[in-house]
Structure 1
Amino acid sequence: MQTTAEYYCAFCGEPNTTFVDISGGMQQSYIEDCQVCCRPNILYVRFDEDTLEVEIDSDYES
């Protein structure tokens, strides 16, 4: 099951929308380029087990 979520780029601060796949587990991390500045962000994705709400934190990829 896929859903969309929003995160803010760690470099430029602009909002980005990404697809997240719940079947990948309740905690995931992967790298995705910002749609605005094209710099790589490490995304840390967590799902609430009860509501399936998505929370994403982004960090710098060096």
Structure 2
Amino acid sequence: MESTAEYFCAFCGEANTTFIDFSAGTQQSYIEDCQVCCRPNILYIRVDEDTLDVEIDTDYQE
């Protein structure tokens, strides 16, 4: 099952949308480029198993 979630770029602060693959587990991390400034963001994703609510923290990669 897939869903989308929004995160804010660690560099420019703009909102971005990313796909969340629930079959990949409840804790995931990967790098995704900002759709606005193209800088790489490290996404730390946590999925609540009961509600399927998604929480995303971002960091930047130098």
TM superposition shift of 1:49: 1.1
Percent identity among equivalent residues? 77
TM-score (norm 1): 0.98
TM superposition shift of 1:9: 0.1
Q: Report runs of 4+ in structure 1 exceeding 4 Å deviation.
A: none
Give the alignment's Cα RMSD to 1 decimal: 0.4
Q: Deviations over 1:16-53 (max 9, x none)?
A: 00001000000000000000000000000000111001
Aligned positions of 1:12-31 closer than 5 A: 12-31=12-31
1:33 equivalent in structure 2: 33
The alignment covers a number of residue pairs equal to 62
Structure 2, unpaired ranges of 5+: none
TM-score (norm 2): 0.98
Structure 1, unpaired ranges of 5+: none
